[in-house]
Amino acid sequence: MNTPTNITFVNSIEAIGPAHWQRLNHSACPFLHYDFFNALEKSQSVSIQQGWQPHHLVATTNEEITALMPMYLKSHSWGEYVFDWDWADAFKRHGIEYYPKLVATIPFTPVSSDKLLTGQHLSEQSRSEQDQMSALFKPLIAHCEQENINSWHILYCPEIKSPLPEDVYQRNTVQFHWFNRDYKCFDDFLNTFTSRKRRSTRKERLTIAKQDIQIRQLLNHEITEKDLEFFYLTYQLTYLKRGHQPHLNEQFFKQIITDMASNVLLLIASHAGEDVACALFFYDDHQLYGRYWGCTEHYNNLHFELCYYRGIEFCINKNIKSFTPGTQGEHKIQRGFEPILTYSYHWIKYPGFRAAIKDFCQQEETHLLTYQAQCRQLLPFKQ
């Protein structure tokens, strides 16, 4: 007879603690570290005031924590990157509340990873992992109905290949990822391009030297307080130029540099002795994650050099197998980033919209599969 599992929710990662979290987290992904979520909460970058109330799922069996899922009660849809604004607008037009919603995600971080932490090593994760995720659907639905939460969403998680319940819907997005096929140097990678694309890329990279731009690479403890202040200035400017406030505050980044000092790469570009742009990355033994870019002055092709080409070189030098540079961006295709499908799963409490949302998800999937195939045709590689 199976021992029953009890599902509860806590409103602070401190209520779980680092020992339990890291015991169940066997992923190398830096964004799943306890320290990352702790920095988000300690800095108040996620909070009730920001519309990101921590509401982490805790599964216990025989009073022992056996699974965790980082979750948040949301009063808006900012910072998720699986866009449901149209759904919210449709609800509003019909006088129905769309929020609050319960979201399993890494805030402001559209990176595919395990969202259910169970203590299994990656090599052990298989159908049983999918079954454990699917087994949460009913408890999540019951919790939402009991607490007057209008939907739940599990974003950027592994694909669930087993059949879904009738009222749970899969959505996809397309991201562009780079893969290291045992390249020895950047030219080795570039030699996989057609001659025209290869010339174009080399010409693009040469413009950096012609503009007299120098780039320095800083790892972890090499990043000084002055470097971090410049980074945060450019990070803010990126948002302010678009009329938005930045999601993350300076305290968050200071804590990350202190607590996760073996996972950070900062590239800073300078001109005539003045720093003008930078890009911040995270990395582990398997992946490089491009996250934040900003500049105080515009220079031709500098964004491509800092955010893509230098990242590719870093992966080759460190024998890192893949590079995830962020969401969207068809300009990445001609630079060798391949279209990859991501997966998320959704449940809506209000039954009147379920048929329309299910139809939307199915049409979206068909469109994105076509889009992915079209993007593949535009890759620069030799046939």
> What's the rounded Cα separation, in Å, for the pair 286 and 256?
20
Per-residue pLDDT at 133: 86
Q: Report how far residue 377's alpha carbon sits from residue 380's, in angstroms, rounded to the nearest whole number.
A: 9
- Has residue 267 been placed in a domain? yes
Q: Is residue 329 part of a domain?
A: no
Domain assignment present for 278: yes
The CATH number for 284's domain is: 3.40.630.30
Q: What is the number of domains present in the chain?
A: 2
> pTM for this one?
0.94
Question: If DSSP states are collapsed to H, E and C, what string results for 256-302?
Answer: HHHHCCCCEEEEEEEECCEEEEEEEEEECCCEEEEEEEEECCCCCCH
pLDDT of residue 123: 44
Q: What are residue 8's DSSP bridge partners?
A: 58
Residue ranges for the chain with pLDDT beneath 70: 1-3, 121-129
- Which one, of 171, 268, 257, lies nearest residue 217 by Cα? 268
pLDDT of residue 124: 46
CA–CA gap between residue 310 and residue 321 (Å, rounded): 15
For residues 68 and 90, membership in a common domain is answered with: yes
Residue 335 falls within a domain, yes or no? no
Residue 358: domain span: 5-172+341-377
Q: Distance between CA atoms of 260 and 18, rounded to whole angstroms?
A: 14
Residues 244 and 136 in one domain: no
CATH of the domain at 154: 3.40.630
Q: What are the start-end ranges of the H helices in 148-218?
A: 186-190, 195-210
- Mark whether 345 and 228 lie in a shared domain: no
Structure confidence at residue 1 (pLDDT): 38
Q: Are residues 10 and 72 in the same domain?
A: yes
What would the pLDDT profile of 123-153 be if each residue is shown by its tens digit? Answer: 444 556 677 888 899 999 999 999 999 999 9
Note whether 220 and 262 are within 8 A (CB). yes
pLDDT of amino acid 127: 54
**CA of residue 21 relative to chain centroid, distance:** 19
Residues 25 and 167 in one domain: yes
Partners of residue 64 on adjacent β-strands? 61
Q: Which residues lie across from 270 on neighbouring strands?
A: 214, 275
Start-to-end C-alpha separation, the chain: 56
